[in-house]
Amino acid sequence: MKAVVRQVYGPPEVLKLEDVAAPTPADDEILIRVRAASINLGDWELLTGQPRFISVLAHLFTRKQRYDFAPTSVTADKVGFSPPKAKILGTDVAGCVEAVGGNVTQFKTGDEVFGMSEGFGAFAEYVCVAETAPMVKKPAKMSFAQAAALPQASHIALQAIRDKGQVQSGQTVLINGAGGGAGTLAVQLAKLYGAEVTGVDGPTKLDMLRSIGADHVIDYTQEDFNRNGKQYDVILDMAAYRSVFKSRRSLTSSGIYLMGGGSGKATWQSAVLGPVISKFGAGRVLFLLAESRREDLTHMEALFEAGKIVPIIDRSYPLCDAGEALRRVGEKQGIGKVIVVP
């Protein structure tokens, strides 16, 4: 099969389109013929190894992939890390089940599915995923590109707005980074739950944010939402590049700030200090670590079928141009999800 392979962390130029033997499903796995994969900012971070803590986490938690790659002479990168374990990147995937392992009962050959490949590998013609992975059957009226756009972003948005934020009708919700993969779904969900929604993002995304229901928009290049004197019941921050303590001041007394993505410093502040500072004064600060849950995908699929949410798609690239697709995400040029089609 064709696959986009890298041996080292680096810019898109380290990616090579190679012929690799397609994986064979183990007894508890399904083999998917990939019809579309989508790119998350996390894929760019894993490609480049930046911010550095991402590559440290990847080294700790990624399993070695089971492909028969040609031997590499690379033993360590410039700062001494061993080469990345995930040579073929890509998590969010939609496609057709091509084969199933002997113990698989929930999927059969020919099923159209979408979800997350927890061992990466989606930037290829085929990928094996565990039967237990967050993977569900794709409804006929959802395109493969739309299906590939949903998985990771859905988990973050749903768990932020419905579960941790417990957004209620009449509440005020601010989403920072609202124009991104998770943000666009979070805006739609918060509207669905009856909130008054403010979306913060760059100038090119504001019309799109209005079109998906945002009541108010803020251009982050012109206005700092921490300084406009307004307070919100729920803040979902997908672009936390400032102190989370500053953002806490924009909460109502019973409000909740959810840090979903951003700098290493903001991650540390919300994950380690958040639970402590939340005990004192007004407004709680939480680090949002979304879990992969099949039932969340089923829920989002039902909302899609009912016409209540729609994934925003930027453009599609052929597999051979996966590097350009990653660059578009990494250099923040797109509006909506960028798709790779084998």
Which residues are near ligand NAP by CB under 6 A? 40-42, 45, 152-153, 156, 176-177, 179-183, 200-202, 205, 220, 238-239, 241, 260-262, 288-290, 332
Distance in Å, CB of 108 to ligand NAP, minimum: 30
Q: How far is the CB of 41 from ligand NAP (least distance, A)?
A: 4
In terms of CB distance, is 194 or 241 closer to ligand NAP? 241
Residue number, 128 or 200, with CB nearest to ligand NAP = 200
Count the residues in the chain. Answer: 342
User: Of the two residues 31 and 89, which places its CB atom closer to ligand NAP in the complex?
Assistant: 89
Q: How far is the CB of 126 from ligand NAP (least distance, A)?
A: 24
Other beta carbons within 10 Å of 266: 22
Q: Which residue number, 42 or 101, has a Cβ lying nearer to ligand NAP?
A: 42
Judged by CB, which is closer to ligand NAP: 296, or 321?
296
- Minimum distance from residue 316 beta carbon to ligand NAP (Å): 16
Min dist. Cβ of residue 228 to ligand NAP (A): 14
C-alpha span between 340 and 342 (Å, rounded) = 7
Of the two residues 30 and 250, which places its CB atom closer to ligand NAP in the complex? 250
CA quadruple 134, 69, 83, 239: dihedral sign: negative
- What does the block give as tokens for 43? 């894929």
Q: Shortest gap between Cβ of 262 and ligand NAP (angstroms)?
A: 6
Q: Which is nearer to ligand NAP, 126 or 287 (CB)?
A: 287
What is d(CA 181, CA 111) in angstroms, rounded to the nearest whole number?
26
- How many Å apart are CA 66 and CA 105, to the nearest integer? 23
Please answer whether residues 258 and 234 qualify as being in contact, where contact means their C-beta atoms are separated by less than 8 angstroms. Answer: yes
Taking the complex as a whole, the smallest distance from the CB of residue 267 to ligand NAP amounts, in Å, to: 9
Q: C-beta of 103: minimal distance to ligand NAP in Å?
A: 30
Which tokens sit at 104? 């698989």
Question: Which CB atom, from 36 or from 97, has the smaller least distance to ligand NAP?
Answer: 36
Find the angle CA(80)-CA(50)-CA(237) to the nearest 5 degrees.
145
Q: Which amino acid is at 72?
A: T
Structure token pair of residue 2: 């064709």
* Interacting residues of 328 by C-beta distance below 8 A, sequence separation 6+: 39, 314, 315, 317, 334, 338
For residue 20, the minimal CB distance to ligand NAP (Å) is 26
User: What are the backbone dihedrals phi and psi of residue 86, each rounded to the nearest 5 degrees, phi first?
Assistant: -85, 100
Q: Are 190 and 173 in contact (CB under 8 A)?
A: yes
Give residue number: closest CB to ligand NAP: 180
User: Which parts of the chain fold into alpha helices (H)?
Assistant: 41-48, 52-61, 144-149, 151-158, 181-192, 206-211, 244-248, 264-268, 274-277, 294-305, 322-330
- 40 or 65: whose CB is closer to ligand NAP? 40
